[in-house]
Chain A
């Protein structure tokens, strides 16, 4: 039976170690009418809309690589496996999982998939939706559903796997995931360019759209964020370009990128520094703004104008047309100040990540879409047991 523990403070928690134990936990919770908060590494529990739950279901014990055959370039691991463990196992064979979400590398695979989180590498490789091949979940009625498979192409049956990616656990507790891997490029080199002038971002965007090179990552960083990455005195937007391929290709790509300005070579840890900045204690609020890719330079400028007077930081995965904002939230006065920033943000698709409960306004959805969403939720979790409220639609 899964170990149950009640800490001095906070909610009780259960720590299952097998899928069968997760099933038992969900069935127990269902019988008792106790909603469950699903917990991976516990590093991002304040993400998502306010979620009220009686008990924490921790997946630490559902942890480990289940199957890894390097020649297949696929890997199956349990939901609670940390990304860093996957990185270590695959690096031995010159391979990697090309997902570097916020909090990388300490988050878990299950949480990355559940939240659909991604980082700069999404520029070339897409998000979890493009990289997850299959998963095992325990639904809100305690069924074990094994969707998708372990091969890189698969259209057998309706795509329940895609539904689980980004469902924030509300359709099932993710106990196992199969992902696509890639061989690491022969050369993997990062260069940094300061984008001076008023049209620096527009030029960088145009360059990316027209260059024959496909950088592994092309991330734009606001001056204030650049400062935290150790580029103190530049006072310009920075473009972080990660170039991969064979020697000749990377050399030519560097040469081409020099058209944007002088290239600097950053410390090795720059990407980890960037992804772990999402966990900074002073900037606990975050959200993403997005629009059609061609409008990214305007979206970037308007976002910077709205957030910088209040000390906000921003970075953008240019190719995806997305700007991510990190906003200060360190004391009680923060909520009012945050509300002010949010109202100043440009009009765009707004995906909140972490915001105080008071500021979580669910976007009004078209009624047909809303009924499809509710139908899906009810089909997998009729009693709304799993992470209730976390998608802003309890």
Chain B
């Protein structure tokens, strides 16, 4: 059955939703819905018919069951900070989860917490810090983005180099399936049995259902932290320092690169961090762990930067300086966003040995299309974020940005990389899926979605191109009679 777009007036859906969540929590007027037309990535605007904001778990379940009864498609949404055009769709019910902010337990003994999906990433870490613990995945948007959104995108962040991404930190999930059924994936109480459905759900971008309760692993705060700022005369020199550090076996907690355009933007903003504005590139390198031996590693990393041609390496003297250095990095997108009306933040990954070559290619692509690409990214993982500031209301500029981004994606794929390392496919990366995956692979993804959401009502039209799912249904052989 194809999902049916809801009409708030005709079928009394809005009224039923109001009965569940209260009048103020249902929006239907176009003016009110405008705020939910897009996420953090400019260029995609799709207006839902209704937006509904349940305040409790039970209300959320009632809403999803009502939508299931009526065959109405919906899109889950956390904080809307996504950068792939994910939490938006035309004519659907937008299901906002940001009011589900209960921290159900913090279990210091087991180093875990159980939280509702609307809990903001940084809030969790703040509350866990009383126990000397923190939630390790730290997207730069952590002061706004939700744990539910993190699970749906399998979010990363600077410290995921050492500590792993969201997948590595989720113990179990209570999932509300699109048909209204509830199921626990993973196991709070030991190893997971059977297929890794927990792993399959993480990163499913709202297409497999709603993450209701999330059991996360908490990590102990390290005894010692050292933050280094290395200043390079060229991007290539910085990239070769990255390779050299990775090769030693020292695993920095974070290893981030920013190019000159990014440094300029940060230093001109209220987030100015004291970065050298004449550096072609800087590396922000953090080492953490036991105090013993850490300074030997610091010395070794500094030496490797020197060998790669660094003009200088300095270590943050105290926590305040460290925080300042990080603030510049974490607010870099915001700082760039000040300079131009819109900012496309891109996301791709290449094998780490290909970083210098791909960075050079990205620069050439930018020049060819007359756009300014600035890079700020998770260098230690090879996870690039080439960003372009522009004015999306100017069609000529928008086209140039689009063309440059397409070529950058093609270059990353050609280098053996992928089209997204942490922001997800959403709508933005759909056109590249065919270039990255074979048809049978895309069919397998469609088949997997069908298991969780056979009607494709949850976040319709995302992640896997619709045409490959159609093909899949037409080539899929009829299920033969099962052998006894």
On A, residues with C-beta under 8 Å from B are 33, 35, 69-74, 94, 116, 126, 129-130, 139, 141, 143-147, 149-160, 162-163, 165-167, 171, 182-186, 209, 212-214, 245-253, 288-294, 320-322, 348-349, 351, 363, 365-366, 368-369, 372-373, 375-380, 382-384, 388, 391, 393
How far apart sit A223 and B230, CA to CA, in the bound complex (Å)? 52
A235 to chain B, nearest CB (A): 29
Residue among A73, A94, A126, A391 having the largest count of chain B Cβ atoms under 10 Å: A73
On B, residues with C-beta under 8 Å from A are 107, 109-112, 153-154, 156, 160, 164-165, 167-168, 177, 181-185, 187-191, 193-197, 199-200, 202-204, 207-208, 222-224, 243, 246-249, 251, 289-294, 296-297, 349-353, 378, 381-383, 416-425, 429, 433, 436-438, 440-445, 447-452, 463-464, 477, 479-480, 482-483
Report whether B296 and A246 are in contact in the complex, using a CB–CB cutoff of 8 Å: yes
Report whether B444 and A160 are in contact in the complex, using a CB–CB cutoff of 8 Å: yes
Instruction: Give the contacting residue for B191; candidates A70, A288, A383; CB below 8 A.
Output: A288
Q: Which residue of B lies closest to A33 (CB)?
A: B483
Report whether A153 and B383 are in contact in the complex, using a CB–CB cutoff of 8 Å: yes
- A372 with B183, Cβ < 8 A, contacts A156-B418, A183-B248 known: yes
Report whether B195 and A373 are in contact in the complex, using a CB–CB cutoff of 8 Å: yes
- A155 with B444, Cβ < 8 A, contacts A184-B249, A292-B110 known: no
A203 to chain B, nearest CB (A): 15
Report whether A369 and B184 are in contact in the complex, using a CB–CB cutoff of 8 Å: yes
Shortest Cβ-Cβ A-B pairs, 10 listed: A349-B190, A183-B249, A162-B199, A249-B293, A252-B292, A290-B190, A248-B293, A375-B451, A379-B447, A153-B421
Report whether A158 and B204 are in contact in the complex, using a CB–CB cutoff of 8 Å: yes
Instruction: Give the contacting residue for B440; candidates A70, A145, A162, A212; CB below 8 A.
Output: A145
Report whether A73 and B165 are in contact in the complex, using a CB–CB cutoff of 8 Å: no
B30 to chain A, nearest CB (A): 33
A384 to chain B, nearest CB (A): 6
Report whether B296 and A248 are in contact in the complex, using a CB–CB cutoff of 8 Å: yes
Report whether A156 and B292 are in contact in the complex, using a CB–CB cutoff of 8 Å: no
Report whether B441 and A292 are in contact in the complex, using a CB–CB cutoff of 8 Å: no
17 pairs of residues in contact across A and B, judged by CB atoms under 8 Å: A72-B351, A74-B351, A147-B444, A155-B425, A156-B418, A156-B419, A156-B433, A157-B441, A183-B248, A213-B290, A249-B289, A250-B293, A289-B190, A348-B189, A368-B181, A373-B194, A379-B450
How far apart sit A288 and B192, CA to CA, in the bound complex (Å)? 11
How far apart sit A391 and B196, CA to CA, in the bound complex (Å)? 13
How far apart sit A247 and B294, CA to CA, in the bound complex (Å)? 11
User: Is chain B's interface secondary structure helix, strand, loop, or mixed overall?
Assistant: loop
Report whether B293 and A72 are in contact in the complex, using a CB–CB cutoff of 8 Å: no
How far apart sit A215 and B275, CA to CA, in the bound complex (Å)? 36
Q: Which residue of A lies closest to B154 (CB)?
A: A155
Q: Which residue of B lies closest to A288 (CB)?
A: B191
Q: Which residues on A sit within 8 Å (CB–CB) of B449? A: 158
Report whether A376 and B195 are in contact in the complex, using a CB–CB cutoff of 8 Å: yes
Q: Which residue of B lies closest to A141 (CB)?
A: B477
Report whether A186 and B424 are in contact in the complex, using a CB–CB cutoff of 8 Å: no
Q: Which residue of B lies closest to A184 (CB)?
A: B249
Report whether B194 and A185 are in contact in the complex, using a CB–CB cutoff of 8 Å: no
A117 to chain B, nearest CB (A): 12
Known: A149-B436, A160-B441. 13 other contacts (CB 8 A): A150-B351, A151-B351, A153-B165, A155-B203, A155-B425, A156-B433, A160-B448, A246-B297, A348-B190, A349-B187, A363-B193, A372-B451, A379-B444
Q: Which residue of A lies closest to B155 (CB)?
A: A155
Report whether A212 and B222 are in contact in the complex, using a CB–CB cutoff of 8 Å: yes
How far apart sit A33 and B483, CA to CA, in the bound complex (Å)? 9
Q: Which residues on B sit within 8 Å (CB–CB) of A152? A: 349, 352, 381-382
Residue among B181, B191, B203, B445 having the largest count of chain A Cβ atoms under 10 Å: B191
Instruction: Give the contacting residue for B197; candidates A182, A246, A292, A376; CB below 8 A.
Output: A376
Q: Which residue of B lies closest to A96 (CB)?
A: B249
Report whether A145 and B441 are in contact in the complex, using a CB–CB cutoff of 8 Å: yes
Q: Which residues on B sit within 8 Å (CB–CB) of A378? A: 479
How far apart sit A216 and B437, CA to CA, in the bound complex (Å)? 36
- A155 with B188, Cβ < 8 A, contacts A69-B351, A382-B479 known: no
Report whether B196 and A166 are in contact in the complex, using a CB–CB cutoff of 8 Å: yes
Report whether A249 and B290 are in contact in the complex, using a CB–CB cutoff of 8 Å: yes
Q: Which residues on A sit within 8 Å (CB–CB) of B182? A: 368
Q: Which residues on A sit within 8 Å (CB–CB) of B378? A: 153
How far apart sit A377 and B248, CA to CA, in the bound complex (Å)? 42
Report whether A294 and B109 are in contact in the complex, using a CB–CB cutoff of 8 Å: yes
- A212 with B418, Cβ < 8 A, contacts A368-B183, A380-B447, A384-B483 known: no
Report whether B445 and A158 are in contact in the complex, using a CB–CB cutoff of 8 Å: yes
Report whether B352 and A73 are in contact in the complex, using a CB–CB cutoff of 8 Å: yes
How far apart sit A81 and B351, CA to CA, in the bound complex (Å)? 23
How far apart sit A322 and B381, CA to CA, in the bound complex (Å)? 30
Report whether B448 and A163 are in contact in the complex, using a CB–CB cutoff of 8 Å: yes
Q: Which residues on B sit within 8 Å (CB–CB) of A368? A: 177, 181-183
Instruction: Give the contacting residue for B293; candidates A129, A130, A247, A349; CB below 8 A.
Output: A247
A75 to chain B, nearest CB (A): 12
Q: Which residue of B lies closest to A185 (CB)?
A: B249
Report whether A292 and B199 are in contact in the complex, using a CB–CB cutoff of 8 Å: no
B110 to chain A, nearest CB (A): 5
Q: Which residues on B sit within 8 Å (CB–CB) of A377? A: 195
How far apart sit A163 and B202, CA to CA, in the bound complex (Å)? 11
How far apart sit A149 and B436, CA to CA, in the bound complex (Å)? 9
Instruction: Give the contacting residue for B203; candidates A159, A253, A288; CB below 8 A.
Output: A159
- A144 with B246, Cβ < 8 A, contacts A150-B416, A247-B296 known: no
- A253 with B249, Cβ < 8 A, contacts A291-B189, A376-B197 known: no
Residue among B153, B184, B353 having the largest count of chain A Cβ atoms under 10 Å: B353
B182 to chain A, nearest CB (A): 7
B451 to chain A, nearest CB (A): 4
Report whether B199 and A159 are in contact in the complex, using a CB–CB cutoff of 8 Å: yes
How far apart sit A72 and B167, CA to CA, in the bound complex (Å)? 21
Q: Which residues on B sit within 8 Å (CB–CB) of A373? A: 194-195, 197
How far apart sit A382 and B443, CA to CA, in the bound complex (Å)? 14
Q: Which residues on B sit within 8 Å (CB–CB) of A393? A: 194
Report whether B168 and A130 are in contact in the complex, using a CB–CB cutoff of 8 Å: yes
Report whether A71 and B168 are in contact in the complex, using a CB–CB cutoff of 8 Å: no
Report whether B196 and A149 are in contact in the complex, using a CB–CB cutoff of 8 Å: no
